Amino acid sequence: MNFLITGGTGFIGAALANTLVAQGHHVRVIDDLSAGGERNVLDPRVSFTRGDVRDIPKLWSLLDGTDCVFHLAARVSVPESVLYPVEYNAVNVGGTVSLMAAVRDAGVKRVVLTSSGAAYGDQPRQPVAEDTTLQPQTPYAVSKLASEQYVLAIGALWKIETVILRVFNAYGPGQPLPPSHAPVVPRYLKQVIGGGSLVVFGGGQQTRDFVYIDDVVRALGAAAQKPGLNRVVVNIGSGAETSINHLIDVIEQVVGREAHRIQRAAESGGVSRLVADVHRARELLGFTPQLALREGLRQMVMKDSRFSLQPA
């Protein structure tokens, strides 16, 4: 098949692109590299174009002959979105609308949008199923919900097949470690290996659903290639609820070192609980998570040189 991946040098996008070309597909990527991604993370067989996903004429040329688009281009930091809501709306929502307009013009058959479990917000009942009433609590989460609605609406109007995957806390080798607002898994892993301190907000009892990157990529591939999918929303997670404190416990076990924890119980750690109901993913995509947290963390240490264990 012929695929276009927006945001294709990002953590999930690059892993997806490299997997698809290894399977024999033709893959094009567009990315503006604004998030610090690099072209060299891609397999040489991937066709890379530097550009903004809001550039509709550029999208027209890339969409020619495309069977399916994976839309991953977005700004993705929850804390950053609180500071810069205008930018998050412009890139995440504006980029989605521009892409869907270009897809309509080019006659592409299917779009797979990578949304986020953050759209659920705080929910009294866990795990959260796809028909749960959404309560987004940050500009990032709102931008993802708005993107979902644009994809579904424009898809219905122009008979474009649309699949939305709400991905929970993806982690794995190659995950970015920016100086600020770094994701929790690589940040904690790096700190424990390096002997640094971990700041634990909210008492560490808040829970999340950590899903390994290879599982996410398998789900994305299925969403693009399974026949008969249209106007569906599917959770992609591990289905396992893990507290932040337990995440640190497992990191300690994997690397064989004790973490120095600094508790900031008075400061919020975000929503109190969040774990995915993955029954629909199993039914529609044949998706079953393969890697539990301990093995996923072990794979990160083995495959990512940034987490190489040094003598204690």
Alpha-carbon gap, residue 27 to 41, rounded angstroms: 14
Q: Digits of tens for pLDDT over the chain (312 positions)? A: 999 999 999 999 999 999 999 999 999 999 999 887 788 899 999 999 999 999 999 999 999 999 999 999 999 999 999 999 999 999 999 999 999 999 999 999 999 999 999 999 999 999 999 999 999 999 999 999 999 999 999 999 999 999 999 999 999 999 999 888 899 999 999 999 999 999 999 999 999 999 999 999 999 999 999 999 999 999 999 999 999 999 999 999 999 999 999 999 878 888 999 999 999 999 999 999 999 999 999 999 999 999 987 655
- Which residues are CB-contacts of 302 (< 8 A; sequence separation ≥ 6)? none
Domains of the chain (ranges, CATH numbers): 2-170+210-236 (3.40.50.720), 174-208+240-274+291-307 (3.90.25.10)
- What local confidence, expressed as pLDDT, does residue 267 receive? 82
What does the chain come to in residues? 312
Residue 197 — φ and ψ, nearest 5°?
Answer: -100, 145
Residue 35 — φ and ψ, nearest 5°?
Answer: -90, 10
Distance of CA 241 to the CA centre of its chain: 18
- Which residues are CB-contacts of 278 (< 8 A; sequence separation ≥ 6)? 127, 235, 236, 237, 238, 239, 287, 288, 289
Task: Give the strand pairing for 68-71 and 232-236.
Answer: unpaired
140 is catalytic: yes
Counting residues of the chain whose pLDDT is more than 90, the rounded percentage is 93
State pTM to two decimals: 0.97
Catalytic residue, from 84, 88, 120, 140: name it.
140
